[in-house]
Amino acid sequence: MQLKKFITADDAVSSVIGVILMVAVTVILAAVVATFVLGLGEQVSDVAPETSFDFDFDENPTNGEDSWGEGGNESLLTITHVGGPSIDASLLSVTGSSVAEYDDFSGALDQMSAGDSVSIWMKTEDSISVVWTNRDGTQSSVLRSFDGPEA
């Protein structure tokens, strides 16, 4: 009789499983709360977009006439968005020591989507970068760079 009672008694197993489940729920809840308290949830949305840009360099588009008066060393660089998600143009800028036309894409476009292009004037020896900056201005990332042939 006692053997049958021993086999069917499972009180200890259910209490152990209950404790394990309560610990697991507590750990998961603590991880979720810590993520939002430490601000890790907000940083996920501020990741630089996975996009591709292509450059088309025209070394002498003005036939030797140089609007900067430096002897014909300006070139036209066309930057084309060739792949990836659309980007708010106000978050994109062009950096380089000789960027003459404008330093952001928002003057030409609202959204930069695949197939959209922007042209800028640059000195032939300059290096140009397409830079993404998050809305807060706290993070930035160079999406693509171009070096002129004389750089």
Residues 40 and 53 in one domain: no
pLDDT tens-digit series, residues 45-79: 567 888 899 999 887 665 444 454 444 567 888 89
Residues 114 and 129 in one domain: yes
Query: How many structural domains are present in the chain?
Result: 2
Q: The tokens 């630089």 sit on which residue?
A: 48
Residues spanned by the domain of 17: 2-44
Cα distances from 146 to residues 63, 116, 122, 131, 150, in angstroms, run 22, 18, 11, 12, 12
Residues 20 and 53 in one domain: no
Residues 63 and 101 in one domain: yes
Residues 40 and 91 in one domain: no
Most confident range (mean pLDDT) of 2-11, 18-27, 123-132 is: 18-27
Q: What's the mean pLDDT in 9-35?
A: 85
pLDDT number for residue 41: 56
pLDDT number for residue 111: 85
For the chain, the average pLDDT equals: 78
pLDDT tens-digit series, residues 93-141: 888 877 654 455 656 678 888 888 888 888 878 888 988 888 888 888 9
Residues 40 and 55 in one domain: no
pLDDT confidence band for 34 (50 / 70 / 90):
confident
